[in-house]
Structure 1
Amino acid sequence: MRVFQQRASVAVAALLVTAIAVGAPSASAEERIAYKSAKSGTSYYQMGVELANALKAGTDGGVILTVEESQGSVQNVMEAAARPGNYVFTAPPSLVSAAAAGKGAFEKRPNPRFADIRTLFPIPSLTMHFVMAGDGGDQSLEAMVGKTILLGKGSFGATEGEKYLGLFGLTDKVTIADAELGNAADALTNGQIDGFVTAGSFPAPNVIEASATTKIKLLTMSDAEVEKTGQTRQVIPAGSYAGVDADTVTTSLPVLAFATTEMSDDTAYLLTKTFWEAKAQLAAASPWWKAVAPELLANGAVKLHPGAARYYKEAGLPVPDGLL
């Protein structure tokens, strides 16, 4: 009888070990995440690549982020309704709230799964740059009067730039160049245009390129002008671009990283934790990450993913009540 009991105990223990092994994730398992970013060649696509490298290093290969090209934030949000599992995307929070409410670009394409989108962490904001050739002199938006300005087409910067010209009575006082924004730096250097408007994280690659080949100045806005735009006030620090030695007041559109409730709490926790722990290293390599801070969560429009919320609570980082 005793021998039988011993054999039974061994069998039960073996079953328990097997059950634990089957139920628990392997220590060497990779967590694969799709990250929908922006067009390749843009600063936001490069950010995605940098983030992927930081997450892989920060988790010893435990998290593999695959960066996917995108045609814009609307596409990113639309895919959230169809993509399963670990799907992460970037977008302005206002666009996500519009999707959940079935408004704006999503009015004719509503989907109940938009309500499942959850916030993870902020990334660098889309910052408006009004770039003019030359240095010194008038640095207000009035400096564009009588000049040829390149706005580009179809981008947030082009749309916002056109809106600002109208807001401040400049539409009929400037000539809009018919050219692609990708040629802005060359066109400015060659004197084909007097300035261009672009939106992106700072320092923006096309502004860096322009400042490397010609003298430039950034136009600055008054607080009253910023308030009139309805956007967030943003300061581009002095020294961000060659020859720009004073702070520039402008506007920005917050951008955050989102997931859906299909992502597990543990994965969202690991992703958020690793991002913030790698943030200093990211900023050391690429200055645009320096402007990212937990306070940017105040721009969020949908609740935090429970896994992300767990990290913020553990880390003691400030989180608006509306996101919990």
Structure 2
Amino acid sequence: MVRNSLAALAAAAVIAAFPFAKDASAETRVTFKSAKSGTSYYQMAVQIAEAMKAGTDGAVIVTVEESQGSVQNVKEAANRSGNYVFTTPPALAQAAIAGKGQFEPKDPAFDKLRSLFPIPFLTMHYVVRADSGVTDFAGLAGKSFIIGKGSFGASEAEKNFETFGVAGKVNLVDVELGSAVPALKNGQVDGFATAGSYPAPNVIEAAAGTGVRLLSMTDEQVAATGRTRLVIPAGTYPGIDEDTVTTSLPVGAYTTSDMDEETAYQLTKTFWERKAAMAQDNPWWGGVAPAMLETLGATLHPGALKYYKEAGFDIPGGLM
């Protein structure tokens, strides 16, 4: 009897010390809506899932879902309940909350969107075959090009072609972005546009065994896009030995107020604590810094806010 009592007390002490510890039958399940398979953001989601499992000793299990783009991710948040996490540029989260643009008329369900943490920024890549003869955006006139459908990269490329004066002159091939690399390698198209944090897996794949070039923007073109200037360093991709000037867009991980505080706390805490380990495998994580919190643009989930206060982060006033 005494032994049983002591065992019970010991178990209670463990639970008190580690309130989030759970057995396998009580693990917390999280759905992570990311991007199309083959993109850097899908790979990031897989890495986050692995980090969560390792960082919580299996107490939090993240299942990654492929998506057709950031707009879909946000729109699904209106109808998802429980532990739904998704990635999107902050501008889309803000548009949904305000009921503007693609989210008109306003849906009150979007008022439940909450921020968790920033992830590597979206970087525009314009990839062309080296033997296409294309060296700048004007050279895309008359060429076959894939931009995909429904993603930020597709809409951004289309907008930039208009800004750069080549809209209607580029032969846009109506296929999914997943078909771009084989089509490029087989000579069926001259190039493709993709948005992802560099180094992007599909660009690495395109450059492997095939001569490719990344189109670089002039400072005037960067200014005309209204986006943030970013330089992809020489040597990032095989065969590309000079810097590439392009544009980028902040991206964050979000959830909804339906998620419980403890789960949001553990997700946020584990992300920051495992970030250095993730960066050892993929350099893009090294660029994520606490200062990037200011880009999130939506109120922090109370669980995330709890972690940031405990960790001593500077929290922008607009996120509380």
Give the structure-2-normalised TM-score: 0.84
**Number of aligned residue pairs:** 306
Q: What are the ranges of 5 or more consecutive residues in structure 1 without an aligned counterpart?
A: 1-13
Corresponding residue SS for 2:250? strand
**Cα distance in 2 between the residues matched to 1:302 and 1:309:** 12
1:28 partnered with 2:28: no
Which of 66, 69, 89 is equivalent to 2:63? 66
**C-alpha deviation, 1:64, in angstroms:** 1.4
**Cα distance in 1 between the residues matched to 2:72 and 2:169:** 35
Equivalent in the alignment of 1:94: 91
**Cα distance in 1 between the residues matched to 2:20 and 2:170:** 62
**Cα distance in 1 between the residues matched to 2:172 and 2:117:** 37
Which of 284, 309, 314 is equivalent to 1:313? 309
Equivalent in the alignment of 2:180: 184
Equivalent in the alignment of 2:126: 130
Does the 8 A contact of 2:123 with 2:195 survive in 1? yes
Equivalent in the alignment of 1:76: 73
Rate the CA distance shift 1:113–1:194 in 2: closer, same or farther, 3 A. closer
Does the 8 A contact of 2:122 with 2:248 survive in 1? yes
Rate the CA distance shift 1:157–1:312 in 2: closer, same or farther, 3 A. same
| Deviating more after overlay: 199-208 vs 66-75 | 66-75
Does the 8 A contact of 2:128 with 2:134 survive in 1? no
CA RMSD of aligned residues (A): 2.9
**Cα distance in 2 between the residues matched to 1:271 and 1:282:** 15
1:115 partnered with 2:98: no
The 5-angstrom pairing of residues 206-285 of structure 1 reads 206-285=202-281
Segments of 4+ moved more than 6 angstroms:
none
Return the index of the structure with the highest Cα Rg.
Answer: 1
**C-alpha deviation, 1:119, in angstroms:** 0.6
**Cα distance in 2 between the residues matched to 1:296 and 1:143:** 36
**C-alpha deviation, 1:128, in angstroms:** 0.8
Q: What are the ranges of 5 or more consecutive residues in structure 2 without an aligned counterpart?
A: 1-7
Deviations 1:132-151 (A, max 9, x none): 2228x985433434543333
Corresponding residue SS for 1:54? helix
Corresponding residue SS for 1:191? coil
Rate the CA distance shift 1:319–1:159 in 2: closer, same or farther, 3 A. same
Corresponding residue SS for 1:240? coil
**C-alpha deviation, 1:178, in angstroms:** 5.0
**C-alpha deviation, 1:25, in angstroms:** 5.3
Deviations 1:127-186 (A, max 9, x none): 210112228x98543343454333333332222112111101122544434554333233
Identity %: 60
**Cα distance in 2 between the residues matched to 1:140 and 1:39:** 27
**C-alpha deviation, 1:121, in angstroms:** 0.5
**C-alpha deviation, 1:224, in angstroms:** 2.8
**Cα distance in 2 between the residues matched to 1:240 and 1:43:** 14
| Deviating more after overlay: 194-203 vs 146-155 | 146-155
**Cα distance in 1 between the residues matched to 2:212 and 2:56:** 42
**Cα distance in 1 between the residues matched to 2:78 and 2:181:** 38
Which of 57, 60, 78 is equivalent to 2:54? 57
